[in-house]
Amino acid sequence: MRGAMILVALLIALPFPALAIERLDGEAIRRAFEGNTVSGRYTNGGFFTEFHDPDGRALGHNGWQPNRDACWTTRASEVCYYYGPQSDRTVHCFTVELNRDLYVLRNTSNGQINALASVELGNPRKHGDQGEPWYCDGLISKAPAPLMSRRRLAAR
């Protein structure tokens, strides 16, 4: 935890004239995260790793527990994660800044740094749904009814 806090303090306190920090828009976030694994540490020291399935599911571990119903989506200038059933779902949205290979996720509600992360190509940690697939109900636009009845569908 101490190491993560020191890294955050350095990012905030030190000027980096040679390092350009780029704030990503939703499309750039989608291109970076979709089909890849985002892993990192929260500023409180917890570790997370999630494969961002193109179907909208976030497979892996959110830092507190294995994901069983997590979804992700991008908006105009942020990435949002949905955890839990619709009745008591939690939503967490972040702006994303890129500094070389380091992604800085800031809470959209207050601008504070929530996590530092890296992106691994593909799904090298083999995150899956453990045989209990889910679909991202709050994110589905219009899936064909026959497809929905044949299997559970995840879509954005």
Domain assignment present for 61: yes
Domain assignment present for 149: no
Domain assignment present for 34: yes
* pLDDT score for 152: 42
Domain assignment present for 54: yes
Phi-psi region of 122 (alpha: psi -120 to 50; beta: other; left: phi over 0): left
Domain assignment present for 26: yes
- The ranges of the chain with pLDDT < 70 are 1-19, 137-156
Domain assignment present for 145: no
* pLDDT score for 29: 98
- Residues 146, 133: Cα–Cα separation, whole Å: 18
pTM: 0.77
* pLDDT score for 144: 37
Sequence letter at residue 47: F
Provide the number of structural domains found in the chain. Answer: 1
* pLDDT score for 8: 56
Domain assignment present for 139: no
Domain assignment present for 136: no
* pLDDT score for 135: 87
- 73-112 pLDDT per residue, tens: 999 999 999 998 888 889 999 999 999 999 999 999 999 9
Are 37 and 125 spatial neighbours (Cβ–Cβ below 8 Å)? yes
- Output phi, psi for 111, to 5 deg: 75, 0
* pLDDT score for 36: 98
Give me Rg for the CA atoms of the chain: 16
Show the domain range for 121: 2-129
